[in-house]
A and B are shown apart, each in its own frame.
Chain A
């Protein structure tokens, strides 16, 4: 019976310090997956799931999926650059800049994305007379701002994780402030920042589904459109979930892998 114990309980018991053997890991991950799939299966069968209706809308759905990819790719660059600049501003010795960045980050992080989208599109967009042509641009900017606020906090934490003694050393050597950032702070902060930054990309992909309320024809919007015609909500949203998971799960695993790797190197 010793082998059964090994499969179910982690070595070291409640201390739980060692990671379980590969076989036990595989068996338990498999078990979890089987349970999940069984649950989904029961639901699908009892609701008479008919996959073929989704197949009819495959082109529209695929187009939406690609738009989601595009939005995510552009927003990834914008939110990373924006988040980095906001993090630098938060540490600036120019006080208006510092506090503008701090207030902006706090407000954006504490506002639901859906509300932010409505406010910026109907409120700010309406006030500035931003028309239909700029719908996608506004959508991408809104989500970049939202994710950028979180990313700036990731960067700020990374910068602050670099010890005071390191900055002191850089000063003693005679580095300028810019040189200190370039050669000392950023390279060290980078390894702290990379895993959570990649993790934030998962949020970005998921959050982009809310842009559907702006009538942007991304993945969620295309699924909504399909289901409003065929009334097969279950099948369409099931396909939607799969489409997102295909993107997010590999990235999430990548983030975890990076976390492990950098943990052992330091």
Chain B
């Protein structure tokens, strides 16, 4: 994945959430965004996802500058997979249908192709037994895994994960993190917003710490977690790693 942020600004009213953020990520697969709540991590991910419009600056993903107008954004969103914290799946459809619907209606697959693709993905994630269940019949962890399966099935150029385990208990968190790790090993490109520090450290090729809308520190995980340079990083890690 190649991601380049150039002086990106995002304001909500008079409140600046992202404050002239620049970053160059190249030649690696997994970028993790960490930092205190309200620091701008999720907003930054949503800008890359094409779900928010920046107030200024440019976002370039895999050498293509994201054009922030409705039609281009629709195409852009269709080329990436996004997984949120919770409630990703449509509750009135089975797990299988949740995956086949976008394949058919957005990506123009036939019903048969879509089913084969969806079942293949579910099988790989050991979810095929749950294909005919609705989200309410699945555990939180299974739901997130199906949501990830849906994001993968469209063969996205990058998968964006916005705190995918924040709504889960520790056991379910583990099963979802294992799955994300598998994706990494397959060589998929991931942009991950997470509060799981140990996971970010193990998985990410680069870590960016966002605080008060700015990148406090950006570097390999060994640097961020082992020998942080900025005061913001040191303070943040002290707070989250205390317990």
Binding site for B on A (CB under 8 A): 163, 165-166, 168-169, 171-176, 179, 183-184, 187-188, 191, 266
**Which residues from chain A contact B136 at a C-beta distance below 8 Å?**
266
**Which residues from chain A contact B82 at a C-beta distance below 8 Å?**
172
Q: Is B242 an interface residue (CB 8 A)?
A: no
Q: Tell whether, in the assembled complex, residue A163 and residue B87 are in contact, meaning their CB atoms are under 8 Å apart.
A: yes
Give the residue of A173, A184, A187 whose beta carbon is less than 8 angstroms from that of B77: A173
Determine how close the nearest CB of chain A comes to the CB of B5; give it in whole angstroms.
20
Cα-based distance from A184 to B91 in the complex (angstroms) = 9
**Which residues from chain A contact B92 at a C-beta distance below 8 Å?**
187-188, 191
**Which residues from chain A contact B91 at a C-beta distance below 8 Å?**
188, 266
Size of the B side of the interface (Cβ < 8 Å), in residues, is 21
Q: Tell whether, in the assembled complex, residue A184 and residue B102 are in contact, meaning their CB atoms are under 8 Å apart.
A: no
**Known interface pairs A183-B101, A183-B105; A171-B87 also in contact (CB < 8 Å):** no
**Which residues from chain A contact B117 at a C-beta distance below 8 Å?**
none
A-B pairs with CB below 8 Å: how many? 49
Task: Please provide the 6 A-B residue pairs with the shortest distance between their CB atoms, ordered closest to farther.
Answer: A174-B78, A172-B82, A165-B87, A174-B77, A173-B102, A174-B106
Report whether over half of chain A's contact residues are helix, strand or loop; otherwise say mixed: helix
Q: Is B74 an interface residue (CB 8 A)?
A: yes
Instruction: Give per-residue flags for B102-114: 1 if the beta carbon is below 8 A from chain A beta carbons, else 0.
Output: 1001100000000
Instruction: Give per-residue flags for B76-92: 1 if the beta carbon is below 8 A from chain A beta carbons, else 0.
Output: 01100010101111111
Determine how close the nearest CB of chain B comes to the CB of A44; give it in whole angstroms.
51
**Known interface pairs A163-B87, A188-B91; A171-B101 also in contact (CB < 8 Å):** no
Within B43-93, the residues touching A (CB, 8 Å) are 49, 51, 74-75, 77-78, 82, 84, 86-92
Determine how close the nearest CB of chain B comes to the CB of A65; give it in whole angstroms.
39
**Which residues from chain A contact B88 at a C-beta distance below 8 Å?**
165, 169
**Which residues from chain B contact A183 at a C-beta distance below 8 Å?**
90, 101, 105
Give the residue of A166, A175, A188, A266 whose beta carbon is less than 8 angstroms from that of B102: A175
Determine how close the nearest CB of chain B comes to the CB of A246; give it in whole angstroms.
35
Q: Tell whether, in the assembled complex, residue B102 and residue A174 are in contact, meaning their CB atoms are under 8 Å apart.
A: yes
Q: Tell whether, in the assembled complex, residue B105 and residue A169 are in contact, meaning their CB atoms are under 8 Å apart.
A: no
**Which residues from chain B contact A176 at a C-beta distance below 8 Å?**
74
Q: Tell whether, in the assembled complex, residue A172 and residue B51 are in contact, meaning their CB atoms are under 8 Å apart.
A: yes
